[in-house]
Chains A and B, each alone.
Chain A
Amino acid sequence: MTVDQDSEEQPAGLRSHYEMLQPKLRRFLTARLGSPADAEDLMQDLWIKLGQIPSGPVGNPSAYLHKMTLNLANDYVRSRMRQRGREAAWSDVMIAEPNSLAVDPSPSPEAALAAKSELDILLRAIRTLPERAQQVFRKHRIEGASHAEVAAEFGISKSAVEKNMATAMKHLMRAMQEDDET
């Protein structure tokens, strides 16, 4: 997060920003979770969490609140998927195309034998990434460098880093889904 010296404030100030941003955050959570009731629950969680943040100046409180809300929603989605999703497969996440045949998703014994471990699929997909996308993916996602650090190292813009990360994730997603379908 960027630290904006002019707008640094104490966490107590975060709650006033919360008041201000409330409609926007609620609208996002409703869209993200698909349920106004769940969104309301998370809004309350957010309010409680804001009171628990240890004191210290926060640069750019608005960005901070947005980031917190995003993460809270992601964690909520994760726990929801954990509860109901153990039997789901990668390809199930997408709904069937209209007019397409429904196929029994359970793998034949042969297919189960042939199926590679998730790690193998990931590795194969990473190895076949376009060169720059692979470099960016490894630097940022595996070695933990920030977008800014990756941009500086490869002499590209931060938005190029984002584009390369998106390319990498698309490629990996296809590999996962294709593996599920074989």
Chain B
Amino acid sequence: MTNNQKISDEAADWHAAMSGDNPDFDGFTSWLEVSPENGRAYDAILMLDDTVETNKAAIQAALPANDMGHSVRPQRRTFLMLALGASAFIPGALWFGIPGQSVELRAGDSPIQVALDSRVNIELDRNSRLLHGKNDFDTVELAQGAAHFSVRHDPKVGFTVKAGDVSVIDLGTQFEVQRNGDQIGVSVAEGSVAVSFAKGKKLTLTAGQRAYVENGLITTSLIEAGSVASWRKDRLVYRETPLRQVAKEISRYTLAPVTVDPSVSDRRFSGVLTIGDGHSLDKNLADFMDLARSEQGGSVRISAKR
């Protein structure tokens, strides 16, 4: 074992001991006094511990349930609130590391909340993925799904969300970005955002406005500010929304992806769907629209009734 490794191991021992009920303060002081390297090794363990803290919700979501038969898993809701409470105190900048390396945040079967730094709070919907550079909290990329952003505006440094070739720059704001395959949507609940699209097109959206891009075609519409990112309240709210768009969005929650027959894909849906476990969304949608639903080789097809 190298000397560095030995010091690093000692630092881990001290970190565990100092988190216990009877920390040996004097022993720890003496160990630190041996060499400044000891303090640096302890800092590294502290950083690692903070990184674990920051990723706690994602770790919990990614690991299978603890296999101790008699252990009771905490209620998910309570856990997420704790995770949020804790993350508010974790400086996001501890994600430092190799320049250019990105960090992926991934939500499993329930939304997760992340405080990137003191000005950006993110709620990431189920089965969604978000990336940011290890050194960069000013730009994130939504790789898949939906995320709600609450940003305290800093006039010196903008906060940018990228989704494909769409970029959303906050101007002091609460907003949602969705990315479902080639469909990208931006909805503003509060304040305003500047959105730029492929080929240099630009738009400013204010509270209650929504932009939707599909196949390079941009449509804007009005949306009730209170219904932005309504998945945070276990609901999906639609008003005059094309069925193909609804199908892509609910596929984030259903057991199998939902596709729509071209003959009905332009039909509009208005209504509220409750997410729950997500398994009945496709059936409820078909029932609401008086359409047929059939399972076809690993996906669900919604089409006209014969």
Contacts and interface: CB of A to CB of B under 8 A. Distances in A.
B56 A66 contact: no
B15 A93 contact: no
Contacts of A87: 96, 99, 135
27 contacts: A24-B25, A28-B29, A32-B42, A34-B39, A66-B23, A70-B18, A86-B135, A90-B44, A90-B48, A90-B97, A94-B4, A94-B7, A94-B37, A94-B41, A107-B98, A118-B95, A119-B58, A123-B63, A141-B49, A141-B56, A142-B56, A143-B66, A153-B71, A169-B45, A177-B8, A180-B97, A180-B98
B59 A123 contact: yes
Which size bracket describes the interface of B in this complex? 35 or more
A115 B98 contact: yes
Interface in A97-123: 97, 105-107, 112, 115, 117-120, 122-123
B106 A32 contact: no
Given A82-B91, A86-B96, A169-B48, A97 B101 contact: no
Interface in A120-165: 120, 122-123, 126-127, 135, 138-139, 141-144, 147-148, 153, 158-159, 161-163, 165
Interface in A54-89: 66-67, 70, 74, 77-79, 81-82, 85-89
Interface of A: 1-2, 24, 27-28, 31-34, 66-67, 70, 74, 77-79, 81-82, 85-90, 93-95, 97, 105-107, 112, 115, 117-120, 122-123, 126-127, 135, 138-139, 141-144, 147-148, 153, 158-159, 161-163, 165-166, 169-170, 172-173, 176-177, 180
A112 B82 CA distance: 34
Interface of B: 2-4, 7-9, 12-13, 15-21, 23, 25-26, 28-29, 32-33, 36-37, 39-52, 55-56, 58-60, 62-63, 66, 68, 70-71, 73-74, 79, 82, 91, 93-106, 131, 134-135
A81 B44 CA distance: 10
Closest CB pairs A-B (n = 5): A31-B32, A166-B16, A93-B44, A165-B16, A117-B104
A72 B37 CA distance: 20
A2 B20 CA distance: 11
B15 A169 contact: yes
Contacts of B58: 119
Nearest to A25: B25
Contacts of A169: 12, 15-16, 45, 48-49
B46 to A, nearest CB: 6
Contacts of B79: 143-144
B13 to A, nearest CB: 5
Nearest to A85: B96
Contacts of A112: 98, 100-101
Nearest to A105: B98
A117 B96 CA distance: 12
B189 to A, nearest CB: 28
Contacts of A93: 40-41, 43-44, 47
A97 B66 CA distance: 40
Contacts of B42: 32
A28 B106 CA distance: 40
A100 to B, nearest CB: 9
A178 to B, nearest CB: 11
Contacts of B134: 118
Contacts of B99: 87, 106
A104 to B, nearest CB: 12
B100 A107 contact: yes
